[in-house]
Structure 1
Protein backbone atom coordinates (compact mmCIF):
# COMPACT_ATOMS: atom_id res chain seq x y z
CA UNK A 1 0.00 0.00 0.00
CA UNK A 2 1.37 3.40 -0.99
CA UNK A 3 1.97 6.31 1.29
CA UNK A 4 -1.10 8.40 1.97
CA UNK A 5 -1.42 12.13 1.40
CA UNK A 6 -2.85 12.85 4.83
CA UNK A 7 -0.34 13.16 7.69
CA UNK A 8 -1.32 12.60 11.30
CA UNK A 9 0.08 14.27 14.41
CA UNK A 10 -1.07 12.67 17.66
CA UNK A 11 -0.92 13.70 21.27
CA UNK A 12 -0.22 10.88 23.72
CA UNK A 13 -1.79 11.47 27.15
CA UNK A 14 -5.56 10.90 27.11
CA UNK A 15 -5.29 10.49 23.34
CA UNK A 16 -3.43 7.15 23.22
CA UNK A 17 -2.63 6.52 26.90
CA UNK A 18 -5.19 6.87 29.70
CA UNK A 19 -3.55 9.46 31.97
CA UNK A 20 -5.58 8.14 34.91
CA UNK A 21 -3.64 4.86 34.79
CA UNK A 22 -0.14 6.35 34.62
CA UNK A 23 2.37 5.20 37.21
CA UNK A 24 5.39 7.44 37.77
CA UNK A 25 8.78 6.88 39.39
CA UNK A 26 10.58 9.21 41.81
CA UNK A 27 11.83 11.33 38.89
CA UNK A 28 8.21 11.84 37.74
CA UNK A 29 8.87 9.73 34.65
CA UNK A 30 5.89 7.65 33.58
CA UNK A 31 6.88 4.00 33.77
CA UNK A 32 3.51 2.41 33.06
CA UNK A 33 0.08 3.30 31.71
CA UNK A 34 -2.84 1.67 29.95
CA UNK A 35 -4.00 2.53 26.46
CA UNK A 36 -7.42 4.08 25.99
CA UNK A 37 -9.68 1.31 24.63
CA UNK A 38 -9.04 1.01 20.90
CA UNK A 39 -6.15 3.48 20.78
CA UNK A 40 -3.47 0.85 20.12
CA UNK A 41 -5.58 -0.64 17.34
CA UNK A 42 -6.16 2.85 15.89
CA UNK A 43 -2.43 3.64 15.77
CA UNK A 44 -1.47 0.26 14.30
CA UNK A 45 -4.26 0.35 11.70
CA UNK A 46 -3.31 3.83 10.47
CA UNK A 47 0.38 2.88 10.32
CA UNK A 48 -0.42 -0.32 8.40
CA UNK A 49 -2.54 1.62 5.92
CA UNK A 50 0.42 3.81 5.00
CA UNK A 51 -0.26 6.96 6.99
CA UNK A 52 2.73 8.90 8.31
CA UNK A 53 2.34 9.37 12.05
CA UNK A 54 4.08 11.68 14.51
CA UNK A 55 3.74 12.15 18.25
CA UNK A 56 3.55 15.81 19.30
CA UNK A 57 3.30 15.73 23.08
CA UNK A 58 4.07 17.72 26.20
CA UNK A 59 6.25 15.76 28.59
CA UNK A 60 9.51 13.86 28.84
CA UNK A 61 10.99 11.68 26.13
CA UNK A 62 11.56 8.76 28.48
CA UNK A 63 7.93 8.73 29.67
CA UNK A 64 6.60 8.41 26.14
CA UNK A 65 9.25 5.91 25.14
CA UNK A 66 8.24 3.73 28.10
CA UNK A 67 4.54 3.97 27.32
CA UNK A 68 4.71 3.50 23.57
CA UNK A 69 7.28 0.68 23.75
CA UNK A 70 5.20 -1.10 26.37
CA UNK A 71 2.22 -1.22 23.99
CA UNK A 72 4.31 -1.99 20.91
CA UNK A 73 3.46 1.36 19.32
CA UNK A 74 6.83 3.14 19.33
CA UNK A 75 7.81 1.97 15.85
CA UNK A 76 4.51 3.11 14.32
CA UNK A 77 5.69 6.72 14.51
CA UNK A 78 8.01 8.37 12.02
CA UNK A 79 9.00 11.01 14.54
CA UNK A 80 8.33 11.86 18.18
CA UNK A 81 8.37 15.49 19.27
CA UNK A 82 8.42 16.23 23.01
CA UNK A 83 8.21 19.48 24.90
CA UNK A 84 11.19 18.36 27.02
CA UNK A 85 13.57 18.39 24.04
CA UNK A 86 11.99 21.31 22.16
CA UNK A 87 11.91 23.47 25.33
CA UNK A 88 8.41 24.64 24.46
CA UNK A 89 4.93 23.30 25.08
CA UNK A 90 1.80 23.24 22.97
CA UNK A 91 0.19 25.41 21.73
CA UNK A 92 3.62 26.84 20.85
CA UNK A 93 4.20 26.73 17.09
CA UNK A 94 7.71 25.44 17.84
CA UNK A 95 6.27 22.02 18.69
CA UNK A 96 4.45 21.76 15.38
CA UNK A 97 7.30 23.24 13.36
CA UNK A 98 9.66 20.68 14.91
CA UNK A 99 7.39 17.88 13.70
CA UNK A 100 7.22 19.44 10.22
CA UNK A 101 11.00 19.67 10.09
CA UNK A 102 11.54 16.12 11.31
CA UNK A 103 9.24 14.82 8.55
CA UNK A 104 10.79 16.96 5.80
CA UNK A 105 7.62 18.98 5.45
CA UNK A 106 7.10 22.71 5.11
CA UNK A 107 4.31 25.01 6.24
CA UNK A 108 2.76 24.52 2.80
CA UNK A 109 1.96 20.97 3.94
CA UNK A 110 -0.15 22.12 6.90
CA UNK A 111 -3.33 21.78 4.84
CA UNK A 112 -2.82 18.00 4.66
CA UNK A 113 -1.97 17.46 8.32
CA UNK A 114 -4.34 16.71 11.16
CA UNK A 115 -3.52 17.12 14.85
CA UNK A 116 -5.44 14.80 17.16
CA UNK A 117 -5.53 15.58 20.86
CA UNK A 118 -7.54 15.78 24.03
CA UNK A 119 -6.85 19.39 24.95
CA UNK A 120 -8.60 22.36 23.34
CA UNK A 121 -6.16 24.97 24.69
CA UNK A 122 -3.04 23.03 23.61
CA UNK A 123 -3.73 20.60 20.78
CA UNK A 124 -6.63 22.29 19.02
CA UNK A 125 -5.41 25.86 19.48
CA UNK A 126 -1.86 24.90 18.46
CA UNK A 127 -3.08 23.19 15.29
CA UNK A 128 -5.52 25.96 14.37
CA UNK A 129 -2.78 28.61 14.72
CA UNK A 130 -0.70 26.69 12.17
CA UNK A 131 -3.50 26.02 9.70
CA UNK A 132 -3.41 22.33 10.63
CA UNK A 133 -6.80 20.57 10.78
CA UNK A 134 -7.70 20.03 14.43
CA UNK A 135 -9.39 16.89 15.73
CA UNK A 136 -10.58 16.95 19.32
CA UNK A 137 -10.79 13.59 21.09
CA UNK A 138 -13.33 14.31 23.81
CA UNK A 139 -12.81 10.96 25.54
CA UNK A 140 -11.74 12.27 28.93
CA UNK A 141 -13.58 14.48 31.39
CA UNK A 142 -10.25 15.73 32.82
CA UNK A 143 -10.11 18.74 30.50
CA UNK A 144 -12.63 21.37 29.38
CA UNK A 145 -14.84 20.45 26.45
CA UNK A 146 -16.02 23.99 25.75
CA UNK A 147 -13.71 26.19 23.64
CA UNK A 148 -12.53 29.34 25.47
CA UNK A 149 -12.17 31.26 22.20
CA UNK A 150 -12.35 30.84 18.43
CA UNK A 151 -8.85 29.36 18.19
CA UNK A 152 -9.96 26.51 20.45
CA UNK A 153 -12.83 25.45 18.20
CA UNK A 154 -11.92 22.07 16.64
CA UNK A 155 -12.52 21.24 12.98
CA UNK A 156 -13.73 17.78 14.03
CA UNK A 157 -14.67 16.11 17.30
CA UNK A 158 -14.55 12.37 18.00
CA UNK A 159 -15.35 10.57 21.24
CA UNK A 160 -13.31 7.37 20.83
CA UNK A 161 -9.91 6.66 19.24
CA UNK A 162 -11.36 4.13 16.79
CA UNK A 163 -13.60 6.83 15.27
CA UNK A 164 -10.41 8.43 13.98
CA UNK A 165 -9.87 5.66 11.42
CA UNK A 166 -13.01 6.48 9.41
CA UNK A 167 -12.44 10.22 9.74
CA UNK A 168 -8.85 9.86 8.48
CA UNK A 169 -9.97 7.77 5.50
CA UNK A 170 -12.62 10.37 4.65
CA UNK A 171 -10.19 13.31 4.92
CA UNK A 172 -7.52 11.47 2.96
CA UNK A 173 -10.06 10.69 0.22
CA UNK A 174 -10.97 14.39 0.02
CA UNK A 175 -7.27 15.20 -0.40
CA UNK A 176 -6.87 12.57 -3.13
CA UNK A 177 -9.85 14.00 -5.01
CA UNK A 178 -8.44 17.50 -4.55
CA UNK A 179 -4.95 16.47 -5.70
CA UNK A 180 -5.96 14.52 -8.81
Structure 2
Protein backbone atom coordinates (compact mmCIF):
# COMPACT_ATOMS: atom_id res chain seq x y z
CA UNK A 1 0.00 0.00 0.00
CA UNK A 2 1.30 3.42 -0.89
CA UNK A 3 1.83 6.07 1.77
CA UNK A 4 0.42 9.20 0.15
CA UNK A 5 1.07 11.31 3.19
CA UNK A 6 3.82 13.84 3.64
CA UNK A 7 3.05 13.91 7.37
CA UNK A 8 6.41 12.36 8.15
CA UNK A 9 7.84 15.84 7.62
CA UNK A 10 7.47 18.72 10.07
CA UNK A 11 7.34 22.40 9.23
CA UNK A 12 10.72 23.94 9.89
CA UNK A 13 12.74 20.82 9.12
CA UNK A 14 15.74 21.16 6.86
CA UNK A 15 17.93 18.68 5.05
CA UNK A 16 21.08 18.67 2.98
CA UNK A 17 20.96 16.82 -0.33
CA UNK A 18 22.87 16.34 -3.55
CA UNK A 19 20.55 16.54 -6.53
CA UNK A 20 20.84 13.82 -9.14
CA UNK A 21 19.14 15.37 -12.17
CA UNK A 22 20.48 12.64 -14.46
CA UNK A 23 18.28 10.12 -12.62
CA UNK A 24 15.03 12.07 -12.99
CA UNK A 25 13.96 10.47 -16.26
CA UNK A 26 14.47 6.97 -14.87
CA UNK A 27 12.90 7.45 -11.44
CA UNK A 28 10.42 10.36 -11.62
CA UNK A 29 7.26 8.33 -12.26
CA UNK A 30 8.07 5.79 -9.55
CA UNK A 31 9.10 8.45 -7.02
CA UNK A 32 5.95 10.49 -7.62
CA UNK A 33 3.87 7.40 -6.87
CA UNK A 34 5.87 5.84 -4.06
CA UNK A 35 8.16 8.40 -2.39
CA UNK A 36 6.55 11.00 -0.10
CA UNK A 37 9.53 13.34 -0.46
CA UNK A 38 8.97 13.52 -4.23
CA UNK A 39 5.32 14.41 -3.72
CA UNK A 40 6.48 17.14 -1.35
CA UNK A 41 8.77 18.69 -3.95
CA UNK A 42 12.15 17.05 -3.37
CA UNK A 43 13.98 16.18 -6.60
CA UNK A 44 15.86 12.92 -7.18
CA UNK A 45 18.70 13.10 -4.68
CA UNK A 46 21.06 11.43 -2.27
CA UNK A 47 20.70 12.73 1.27
CA UNK A 48 23.80 14.19 2.87
CA UNK A 49 22.14 14.85 6.24
CA UNK A 50 18.53 14.78 7.40
CA UNK A 51 17.25 16.25 9.56
CA UNK A 52 19.64 19.16 9.72
CA UNK A 53 18.96 22.24 11.89
CA UNK A 54 15.53 23.80 12.27
CA UNK A 55 14.98 26.44 9.59
CA UNK A 56 14.99 29.13 12.30
CA UNK A 57 18.67 28.26 12.93
CA UNK A 58 19.84 28.33 9.30
CA UNK A 59 20.83 31.96 9.40
CA UNK A 60 23.60 33.69 7.43
CA UNK A 61 26.27 32.46 9.85
CA UNK A 62 25.23 28.80 9.49
CA UNK A 63 24.98 29.12 5.72
CA UNK A 64 28.45 30.69 5.61
CA UNK A 65 29.81 27.80 7.66
CA UNK A 66 28.09 25.30 5.34
CA UNK A 67 29.72 27.05 2.38
CA UNK A 68 33.10 26.67 4.08
CA UNK A 69 32.51 23.01 4.99
CA UNK A 70 31.42 22.03 1.48
CA UNK A 71 34.02 24.23 -0.20
CA UNK A 72 36.71 21.97 1.27
CA UNK A 73 35.37 18.99 -0.71
CA UNK A 74 35.96 18.33 -4.39
CA UNK A 75 33.17 17.77 -6.90
CA UNK A 76 32.86 14.13 -7.94
CA UNK A 77 31.07 11.74 -10.25
CA UNK A 78 28.60 9.09 -9.12
CA UNK A 79 27.57 6.00 -11.01
CA UNK A 80 24.35 4.15 -10.28
CA UNK A 81 24.64 0.57 -11.56
CA UNK A 82 22.10 -1.29 -9.48
CA UNK A 83 19.37 -1.14 -6.88
CA UNK A 84 19.49 -1.89 -3.19
CA UNK A 85 16.84 -2.38 -0.54
CA UNK A 86 15.97 -1.61 3.00
CA UNK A 87 12.76 -3.10 4.42
CA UNK A 88 9.97 -1.65 2.25
CA UNK A 89 12.39 0.64 0.39
CA UNK A 90 13.96 0.43 -3.06
CA UNK A 91 16.89 2.68 -3.88
CA UNK A 92 19.59 3.27 -6.45
CA UNK A 93 23.02 2.52 -5.02
CA UNK A 94 25.66 5.23 -5.75
CA UNK A 95 29.26 4.41 -6.28
CA UNK A 96 31.67 5.35 -5.10
CA UNK A 97 29.87 6.33 -1.91
CA UNK A 98 32.94 7.53 0.02
CA UNK A 99 32.64 11.17 -1.13
CA UNK A 100 29.02 11.21 0.08
CA UNK A 101 30.01 9.70 3.42
CA UNK A 102 32.73 12.34 3.82
CA UNK A 103 30.18 15.12 3.23
CA UNK A 104 27.87 13.63 5.85
CA UNK A 105 30.70 13.20 8.34
CA UNK A 106 31.90 16.78 7.81
CA UNK A 107 28.46 18.24 8.55
CA UNK A 108 27.80 15.89 11.48
CA UNK A 109 31.23 16.72 12.96
CA UNK A 110 30.51 20.45 12.74
CA UNK A 111 26.92 20.17 14.03
CA UNK A 112 26.90 17.10 16.30
CA UNK A 113 23.34 17.87 17.37
CA UNK A 114 22.25 17.12 13.77
CA UNK A 115 22.79 13.38 13.75
CA UNK A 116 22.06 11.67 10.43
CA UNK A 117 18.46 10.41 10.37
CA UNK A 118 18.08 11.62 13.93
CA UNK A 119 20.46 8.89 15.12
CA UNK A 120 18.03 6.11 14.14
CA UNK A 121 20.70 4.11 12.28
CA UNK A 122 24.22 3.15 13.31
CA UNK A 123 25.51 3.28 9.73
CA UNK A 124 24.65 5.85 7.09
CA UNK A 125 24.13 4.20 3.69
CA UNK A 126 24.12 6.72 0.84
CA UNK A 127 21.22 6.01 -1.52
CA UNK A 128 18.70 7.53 -3.92
CA UNK A 129 15.24 6.46 -2.74
CA UNK A 130 12.87 5.40 -5.50
CA UNK A 131 10.05 3.86 -3.45
CA UNK A 132 9.29 3.84 0.27
CA UNK A 133 6.74 1.88 2.29
CA UNK A 134 6.03 -0.75 -0.37
CA UNK A 135 5.84 -4.54 -0.33
CA UNK A 136 8.32 -6.72 -2.21
CA UNK A 137 5.98 -7.32 -5.15
CA UNK A 138 5.87 -3.59 -5.92
CA UNK A 139 9.60 -3.18 -5.33
CA UNK A 140 10.32 -6.14 -7.65
CA UNK A 141 8.26 -4.49 -10.41
CA UNK A 142 10.05 -1.17 -10.02
CA UNK A 143 13.47 -2.79 -9.90
CA UNK A 144 12.76 -4.78 -13.08
CA UNK A 145 11.70 -1.57 -14.83
CA UNK A 146 14.78 0.34 -13.65
CA UNK A 147 17.21 -2.36 -14.77
CA UNK A 148 16.82 -1.12 -18.34
CA UNK A 149 17.69 2.45 -17.28
CA UNK A 150 20.94 1.61 -15.52
CA UNK A 151 23.76 2.38 -15.35
CA UNK A 152 23.58 6.15 -15.14
CA UNK A 153 26.13 8.70 -14.05
CA UNK A 154 25.88 12.12 -12.51
CA UNK A 155 28.30 14.89 -11.59
CA UNK A 156 27.96 16.17 -8.03
CA UNK A 157 29.17 19.76 -7.79
CA UNK A 158 26.97 21.21 -5.03
CA UNK A 159 24.95 20.44 -1.93
CA UNK A 160 21.48 21.93 -1.46
CA UNK A 161 19.92 23.08 1.79
CA UNK A 162 16.21 22.25 1.56
CA UNK A 163 13.53 23.44 4.00
CA UNK A 164 9.99 22.22 4.62
CA UNK A 165 7.27 24.86 5.09
CA UNK A 166 4.52 22.48 6.17
CA UNK A 167 3.29 21.80 2.64
CA UNK A 168 6.36 21.42 0.44
CA UNK A 169 10.14 21.38 0.40
CA UNK A 170 11.93 24.34 -1.16
CA UNK A 171 15.54 25.21 -1.91
CA UNK A 172 16.97 27.51 0.72
CA UNK A 173 20.51 27.70 -0.68
CA UNK A 174 23.00 25.74 -2.78
CA UNK A 175 26.66 25.33 -1.78
CA UNK A 176 29.37 24.67 -4.36
CA UNK A 177 31.94 21.94 -4.01
CA UNK A 178 35.48 22.67 -5.16
CA UNK A 179 36.06 21.88 -8.86
State TM-score, norm by structure 2. Answer: 0.26
TM-score scaled by length of structure 1: 0.26
Report which of the two has the higher share of strand. 2
Greater length-normalized contact order (CA 8 Å, ≥ 6 residues apart):
2
